[in-house]
Amino acid sequence: MTRFRGLLILAFVGLLACNPCLSGGAAAADGELLEFFGETMGTTYSVKVFQPPESLRVDNLRIDVDGVLRNVNDQMSTYLKSSEISQFNESNSTDWFAVSPEFASVVETALEVSVKTDGAFDVTVGPLVNAWNFGVGPRTSVAPSAETIAKIQDSIGYQKLAVRMDPPAIRKSVPSLKIDLSAIAKGHGVDRVVKFLNEQGLLNIFVEIGGEVRVSGSKSGKPWKVGIQMPDATTNQWTIAHAFGTGGTDHAMATSGDYRNFFEADGKRYSHTIDPRTGYPVDHALASVSILADRCVDADAWATAINAMGPAEGLAIAQTEDLDALLISRSSDGFTKSGTGELAQYVATNTTGEKMETTLSANGSPWVIVAITTIAFATILFSMAIGVIFGRKAISGSCGGIANKTNPDGSTSCGLCSNPADACKELRDRMQNQTGENA
């Protein structure tokens, strides 16, 4: 189960350069692109509106969108003790627990995907994620024992969670069961913001939270585009620019990957993606999964589920469920792609882009830059040391060579030399004169 979702998808707008973004309390003008950003759910969000009405004010819309997202947090954030999910997790009751319709709907979607994937997606997996150092609390980089994993698995499981919609409520069959919706709540948040904007009469919109995206309408007949990155932590290169349709149907995309969040212990790399079925981090070649769907909540859940399942099993269920999926796996040559539905068109494309990515990764790696900087710095220090040794001179730094020397009053010069240069110069001259007299 993926707790952390890297920003595999980053959105861009093709006509951005031609349409200045609005900011502050400015009113929108017809034909312009309104755009603003914010923070939510431990990540960032962005909203773009094309051809907003002239009367629309950016600040007012931003406040309203923040309110929508605060409401999602009030329902589904485990970091808020007053949230619905925290109240449910703290409860030891096995009776029906009343929740909001939105909350129940998200749990219903989660359980549907859990059943179809035989538990590869499971919102009760939180205790396992914590045991593997990827949840709340400090990381120890110590793998839990097999006994610990087995004990936790006995206390979790989507089968121990039930939901109903009328009236909306959820129920657990064991008092200790807790749920975590972080693998699906961002997608739901995107859907909520899109719904709100549509209700305001805004039809040509783009909404993104932490890489999960949903669009409505178009940009004056031109499609919104979403870029999919290669799953390489050292670069941010685009490999695919997927254009959504310009019809009346909304489109959503979510991506799940495992290459930015991991730890190493005893020479083994542990992915942050935990397979609830085994209790262990996944150990397969699948690096990222992108899913298209009408609702972002569905795309979000399926991307996480398939990322846990791996390349072969994930591709098989994508075919069975008729999903639009793109799976990118690591291989000896770099990366290989497989796909279904609308995203299958990218399996055999972008060969040039992948080669460019490999080149940029080698030359632009931050480790290469660090190594070059270290060598250059060491060379300078070595040269200074040679000069000092053969020149029989004190090393001169910001103190002009008087650091740590004793002043006439018995103090050292370090404190003084952190002050302006005039004071240092006066002390230096006095000490040099004294040295000359002693000689």
Per residue in 116-140, pLDDT (tens digit) is 999 999 999 999 988 888 877 677 7
On whether the CB atoms of residues 190 and 296 are closer than 8 A, the answer is: yes
pLDDT number for residue 68? 97
pLDDT number for residue 220? 83
Residue listed under structure tokens 């783009």: 206
pLDDT number for residue 71? 97
Label residue 151 exposed, middle or buried (CB < 10 Å: 0-12, 13-18, 19+). middle
pLDDT number for residue 237? 60
Domains of the chain, CATH where assigned: 46-51+198-346 (3.10.520.10)
Range with the poorest average pLDDT among 14-18, 259-263, 405-409: 14-18
Distance CA 9, CA 335 (A): 17
Which of the four pLDDT bands, split at 50, 70 and 90, describes residue 230?
confident
Q: Give yes or no for residue 339 having a pLDDT over 70.
A: yes
Mean pLDDT of 363-367: 37
pLDDT number for residue 14? 33
Instruction: Report which of residues 278 and 407 the model is more confident about.
Output: 278
Q: Give yes or no for residue 313 having a pLDDT over 60.
A: yes
Which of the four pLDDT bands, split at 50, 70 and 90, describes residue 248?
low
On whether the CB atoms of residues 205 and 217 are closer than 8 A, the answer is: yes
- Tell me what the pLDDT averaged over the chain comes to: 78
pLDDT number for residue 55? 84
Cα dist. 31→50, 54, 61, 196, 226 in Å? 7, 9, 17, 21, 21
Say how many CA atoms lie within 13 Å of 308 toward its Cβ.
31
Residue listed under structure tokens 């909304």: 250
Q: Give yes or no for residue 276 having a pLDDT over 50.
A: yes
Which of the four pLDDT bands, split at 50, 70 and 90, describes residue 228?
confident
Q: Give yes or no for residue 299 having a pLDDT over 80.
A: yes
Smallest Cα–Cα separation from 255: which of 357, 186, 167, 159?
186
Q: Give yes or no for residue 56 having a pLDDT over 70.
A: yes
pLDDT for 178-211, tens place per residue?
A: 999 999 999 999 999 999 999 999 999 999 999 9
Q: Give yes or no for residue 350 having a pLDDT over 70.
A: no
Name the amino acid, one letter, at 309: M
